[in-house]
A = this chain, B = another copy of it.
Amino acid sequence: MKPGTGRVYLVGAGPGAPDLITVRAAQLLARANIVFHDALVHPDTVALAVNAETVAVGKRCGKHSTAQRFINKRLIDAAARFDTVVRLKGGDPMLFGRAQEEIDALRCAGVEVEVVPGVTAALAASAELGVALTRRGTSRSVTFVTPRVGDGEQAGDWTQCVINADCAALYMAAGQAREIAVRLIASGMRTDTPVVVVEDASLPTMTRTVLPLGRLGRAGTLALRGPAMILLGEVFRDVVAAVWPDSSMTSHEPLPEALSA
Question: Quick one: given A117-B124, A165-B156, are A132 and B24 in contact (CB under 8 Å)?
Answer: no
- Indicate if the CB atoms of B164 and A156 lie closer than 8 Å: yes
- Given contacts A133-B94, A155-B137, are A17 and B26 in contact (CB under 8 A)? no
Are the C-beta atoms of B132 and A93 separated by less than 8 Å? yes
Considering the complex, give the chain B residue whose CB is closest to the CB of A120. B123
In contact, A20 and B19 (Cβ under 8 angstroms): no
**Least distance between A140 CB and chain B CB atoms (Å):** 4
What is the chain B residue whose CB lies nearest that of A24? Answer: B19
- A97 within 8 Å of B (CB atoms): yes
Residues of B within 8 A of A130 (CB): 103, 113, 115
B interface footprint on A118-154 (CB within 8 Å = 1, 0 otherwise): 1110011011101111111111111111111000011
Partner of A153, one of B100, B117, B140, B160: B140
With A23-B22, A139-B155, A143-B161 as contacts: A126 and B119 at CB distance below 8 Å:
no
**Of B20, B100, B117, B157, the contact of A15 (CB 8 Å cutoff):** B117
Nearest-Cβ distance from residue A161 to partner chain B, whole angstroms: 4
Q: How many residues of A contact B (CB 8 A)?
A: 69
Question: Which residues of B sit under 8 angstroms from A185, Cβ to Cβ?
Answer: none
Chain B, residue nearest A118 (CB) = B119
Q: Are B134 and A140 in contact (CB under 8 A)?
A: no
Q: Of B93, B97, B117, B143, which is within 8 A of A20 by CB?
A: B117
Asked if A244 is at the interface (CB within 8 A of a chain B CB), the reply is no
Partner of A134, one of B15, B23, B96, B133: B96
By the criterion CB–CB under 8 Å, are B126 and A117 in contact?
A: yes
In the complex, what distance in Å separates the CA atom of A250 from the CA atom of B92? 37
Instruction: Please name the 9 residue pairs, one residue from A and one from B, whose CB atoms are nearest each other, closest first.
Output: A115-B127, A94-B126, A100-B132, A19-B24, A140-B155, A160-B164, A117-B123, A141-B145, A94-B132
Query: Is A73 in contact with chain B by the CB < 8 A criterion?
Result: no
